[in-house]
Amino acid sequence: MKKCFVFIFLSLILSFSLFAADGKSFIEVKIKSLQDVEKIKSMNLDVAGINRNKNLVGIIASLEQIDELKKNGFDVFIKKASPTPEDASLDLYYTPSEMEAMINQIAENHPDICKVEKISDELWEGNYLYAVIITKDVSTPNDRPSFILDAQHHAREVMTSQISVDVIDYLTSNYGTDPDVTNWVDNINIIVIPMVNPDGINYVFTKDIWWRKNRNPNCPVDLNRNYDFNWGLCNGSSDWCYDETYRGTSPDSEPETKAMDRIMAENPAIYALTYHSYGEYILYPFGCYDPSDNQAYWELASELNSILENDQGKTGMYATGAGWSTIYLTDGSSDDSHYGRYGTFSVCIEVNSTDFQPDYTQWRDVTVERQKTAWKYFLNKTLDSPRIEGHIKDSSTGLPLKARVDVEEVPFIHNENPRYASENGFYFRPLPQNSSFTVTFSYPGYCSETKSVDVGTSKVVVDVNLTPSGIIPVSNPVPSDKSINQKLTVQLSWQGNSSNYLLYFGENANPPFLASSNATTYTLSNLEYGKTYYWRVDTEGGCGSSTGELWSFSTYKYGISSVTALKDPFRLSVVGENFSYDTTVKVNGIEVPQVKHKGSTKIVAKGGKTLKNMVPKGSPVLITVEDSQGGISEPFTFTR
């Protein structure tokens, strides 16, 4: 009887604590300076947002973490104690199924201008990602520029998807009556991903009101640290599963980020907006350092700040700037990837000043009303902004060319991909206003063209026809494009019919000039393990120089410098570079029974007699260090 009572009591506690986010509370900590934010981040705490008016950092914290903060001298205030299952504070916000019903209803009511597309497979907990597309004659393909708006990468940031719904509702219901709306919908391919993290959001409504990440059962991932650009680069995320900023096992490893990346890649957008909360920030890339387009970005973001009202109804109050210097370091975020990979000027707005789940009745309508200013601003900018844009074609056939566009005054020096025209030859590049630029258009096998352009406060349309150069573009790169597991000495080679080749080589997508020669080979040595290198070969002749395609290769991820056999019990000590806790040791491709990691330079392979049999005396074996993502060391030949 007594046992039974204890059991019921325990399960009650268990079910309560499940909903109560393991007993965590929403607390606020008083800070004196921005260094305090860094200190808090370094304590591996779950930062929920920052109330900048009152210098309070919101944190989701356990009792132990609260003690820890107090020990470190912080004043702690409990904002919301751990909630119970009866907590109804979120009831008026949307669950994923309410969202699904809502967007399907709107699309059904406006079939000419609105459709819903399922953009992911089924996620682990039964939900799907949806994109809502709003444009004139939506079922016919168009080549309008896109504008992409997304919300709720972080499950608990419930206000953000209210903004998505408002965009969809406003554009569809005012089409044909409001001239601005009609103009946007007629000329822009508007894409809204109302909830990026539906599995996580469902979990917020059923289990844990403060859930942030996705619901990957192997280990939940912070989707805004998982994107494929500067992934894991600058300590702006965590490699530890239990951290709230866990970046996942590899770039775009998650179905949600894969789906988003496909949307970004397939729909060239000049501008994009990603909604988060809270703290009242207007952030632009990068999370690790300034973007090459810093000036143009700053002009855009500060103009937006000057018209956007905060929770107090005041303009000019959003903290505005590149993410790394305005909030904190992040890597692998969606805006960084959108801009770095595809050239979209992607901006992150953190709405609301004090909470990611503010009282619905008090804050929902005012927030979405105020954010109309922001997304309308970007729709207007998509139609016209300081930039160059146009179409690039083959002068003889008139066919579109996916040519490359370089602006001499604003070179990409921060790892951004070169900018190329899209499938239909359309290109764009937002630029600082009231300046002059030298723009080069190039495509392998064509004569490059350079033009001078004066940009004022609106767009300048420059259409370009490129002429074939008669010189065959270089081809057949060795190592082949994107090949992996190269040694530290690599002989590059290519084919072509030019009398002079210009080789560009380096560690980012804008490799500097290295050498010129009439030979079609070049030997590189002293490369480093675990790196990706980029190269291209331009040709000279005919009509001047013609830019080659950009190629890349990666070296072996790890290096082994020595292997020593140790006795009693039999072990192999493997010394090298870059080893992580994820690495194991293989002998002739077969995994050893056990390994012991001793830092990043040493692993001991163990396994007694089994291991000894794998390394027979006198016959050479190949030893490799490998990880679960396919990373491998250069094989090391070892003879016992």
Under the criterion CB under 5 A, does residue 276 sit at the interface with Zn ion? yes
Considering the rule CB under 6 A, would residue 276 count as an interface residue with ligand 0X9? Answer: yes
Cβ-based neighbours of 447, under 8 Å, separated by 6 or more: 466, 467, 468, 469, 542, 543, 544, 546
Which residue has the closest beta carbon to Zn ion? Answer: 276
383 contact partners, CB below 8 Å, separation of at least 6: 183, 184, 187, 188
Containing H/E element for 271? strand 269-277
Which strands, in side-by-side order, build the sheet including 490-495? 475-478, 490-495, 521-524
Stretch that binds ligand 0X9, among 3-11, 22-30, 280-288, 480-488 (CB under 6 A): 280-288
Which of residues 336, 416, 449, 627 is near ligand 0X9 by CB under 6 A? Answer: 336
- Tokens representing 361 are 């009745």
- Please select the residue that binds ligand 0X9; options are 82, 135, 267, 330, rule is CB under 6 A: 330
What are 596's strand-pairing partners?
Answer: 604
The interface mask with ligand 0X9, positions 196-235, x = CB under 6 A, is ----------------------------x-----------
Least distance (Å) between residue 330 CB and ligand 0X9: 4
Q: 435-442 and 426-430: which strand pairing?
A: unpaired
Report the alpha-carbon distance of residue 631 to residue 625 in Å, rounded: 8
Question: Of ligand 0X9, Zn ion, none, which one sits near residue 287, judging by CB under 5 to 8 A according to partner kind?
Answer: ligand 0X9
CA distance 429 to 405: 9
Among 333, 354, 469, 545, binds ligand 0X9 (CB under 6 A): 333
Please report how many Cα atoms fall inside a 13 Å half-sphere around the Cα of residue 468, on the Cβ side. Answer: 9
* Binding residues among 31-70 for ligand 0X9 as defined by CB under 6 A: 49
Q: Which of 323, 390, 445, 559 binds ligand 0X9 (CB under 6 A)?
A: 323
Exposed, middle or buried by CB within 10 Å (0-12, 13-18, 19+), for 130?
buried
Binding partner of residue 283 among ligand 0X9, Zn ion, none, CB cut-off 5 to 8 Å per kind: ligand 0X9
Residue 285 touching ligand 0X9 (CB under 6 A): yes
Burial class (CB in 10 A: 0-12, 13-18, 19+), 292: buried
Among ligand 0X9, Zn ion, none, residue 607 binds (CB under 5-8 Å by kind): none
Of these, 110, 154, 213, 370, which contacts ligand 0X9 (CB under 6 A)? 154
Stretch that binds ligand 0X9, among 331-339, 489-497, 531-539, 608-616 (CB under 6 A): 331-339
Active-site residue, 350 included: yes
Residue count, binding to Zn ion (CB under 5 A): 3
Point out the catalytic residue in the list 157, 280, 299, 350: 350
For residue 162, state whether it binds ligand 0X9 (rule: CB under 6 A). no
Give the residue among 215, 176, 221, 171 at the shortest CA–CA distance from 192: 171
Single out the segment in contact with ligand 0X9 by CB under 6 A; choices: 325-333, 510-518, 549-557, 606-614: 325-333
User: Could you say whether residue 332 binds ligand 0X9 (CB under 6 A)?
Assistant: no
The encoded tokens of residue 105 equal 């209803």
Q: Which stretch binds Zn ion (CB under 5 A): 22-30, 153-161, 515-523, 546-554?
A: 153-161
d(CA 615, CA 620): 8
Q: Is 156 in the site for Zn ion (CB under 5 A)?
A: no
- From CA 74, how far away is CA 577, in angstroms rounded? 40
355 contacts ligand 0X9 (rule: CB under 6 A): no
Find residue 578's DSSP bridge partners. none
Residue 154 touching Zn ion (CB under 5 A): yes
Give one DSSP letter per residue of 175-233, joined into a string. Answer: TTTSHHHHHHHHH-EEEEES-S-HHHHHHHHHTBTT--S---SS----GGG-SSSSTT-
Neighbour tally for 569: CB within 10 Å: 11
Q: Which stretch binds Zn ion (CB under 5 A): 148-156, 286-294, 501-509, 528-536?
A: 148-156
Question: 46 or 394: whose CB is closer to ligand 0X9?
Answer: 46
Query: 229: Cβ–Cβ under 8 A, 6 or more apart, which residues?
Result: 251, 332, 336, 337, 340, 341
Instruction: Give the range of 5-13, 151-159, 444-452, 576-584 binding Zn ion by CB under 5 A.
Output: 151-159
Interface contacts to Zn ion, rule CB under 5 A: 154, 157, 276
Interface contacts to ligand 0X9, rule CB under 6 A: 49, 154, 157, 224, 276, 283, 285, 287, 323, 327, 330, 333, 335-336, 348, 350
Catalytic residues: 350
